[in-house]
Amino acid sequence: MEYLPDPVNDRPLKDLPPFVNKAIDDSLLFPRSQDGAEIPDWRLLEEFMSKEGPLSKQQVMKIIKMGTDIFKNEPNLVKIPEPVVVVGDIHGQYYDLVHMLNKAGDPQKLNYLFMGDYVDRGIFGLECMMLLISIKINFPKKFVLLRGNHESRNMTESFTFREEVIQRFDNQVYDAFMELFDALPIACVVDDKYLAMHGGISPELNLIEEINAVNRF
């Protein structure tokens, strides 16, 4: 990682590492797996973004596309077994997300169920999404991301995520995020015992299987 220089040695907090000022190389971010597929190195990405390292537009779009392809092949109602770590609203708090993952345990060894509302309000919505999508790509069956009410055009335009993305990139990246949000599943059954979703159960819902009849796209 290439850090910002301190040519006059005037950084007031010498014990804190300087920020990263150069995008990470694609060969490091997307190493090839044994079958030749490019999979984002989510641990490297987590460390890189924790130092406020910038991703290129091409890298962001690539991760969004990989995640969208996975979500589009999932049903509205996904399933996951126990034990599972259930996580509520994150709302752009990237460092809280990293802290939670470190405390709860390795996604490679644990099942995770995120209940939505990953963006808006906090200033690191893009980083939250990049990390969550990258982990999802690595562990598609163990890492469930549901759609919350903030994963929508209306909410992201009314709150902060649209402005965040456009200030840092452009409308093309924002539109790609909206396509990914459209593809997120909307509910999850845990171990055939518990029904999980972001908001609540519709009074028009009579059978759980009816959730799969909803056109979420």
Q: pLDDT digits over 37-87, tens only?
A: 899 999 999 999 998 899 999 999 999 999 999 999 999 999 999 999 999
Could you tell me if residue 14 is inside a domain? no
Catalytic residue among 91, 99, 150, 198: 150
Could you tell me if residue 115 is inside a domain? yes
Q: pLDDT digits over 146-200, tens only?
A: 999 999 999 999 999 999 999 999 999 999 999 999 999 999 999 999 999 998 8
Could you tell me if residue 67 is inside a domain? yes
Query: Quick one: which of 6, 85, 97, 7 has its CA closest to 49?
Result: 97
What's the confidence (pLDDT) of residue 201?
85
CB burial of residue 88 (10 Å; 0-12, 13-18, 19+): exposed
What's the confidence (pLDDT) of residue 13?
61
- CATH of residue 124's domain is 3.60.21.10
Cross-strand partners of 14? none
Higher-scoring residue by pLDDT: 28, 2: 28
Domain that residue 191 falls in: 55-213
Could you tell me if residue 187 is inside a domain? yes
Q: What is the enclosing helix (H) or strand (E) of 62?
A: helix 57-72
| Cα-only R_g, the chain | 18
CB burial of residue 18 (10 Å; 0-12, 13-18, 19+): middle
Determine the Cα–Cα distance for residues 77 and 87; give it in Å rounded to an integer: 17
Determine the Cα–Cα distance for residues 199 and 217; give it in Å rounded to an integer: 18
Residue listed under structure tokens 């007031």: 12
pTM beyond 0.75, yes or no: yes
Number of compact structural domains in the chain: 1
Instruction: Answer yes or no: is pLDDT of 36 > 90.
Output: no
Instruction: Answer yes or no: is pLDDT of 29 > 80.
Output: yes
Could you tell me if residue 11 is inside a domain? no
150 is catalytic: yes
pLDDT averaged over the chain?
92
Could you tell me if residue 109 is inside a domain? yes
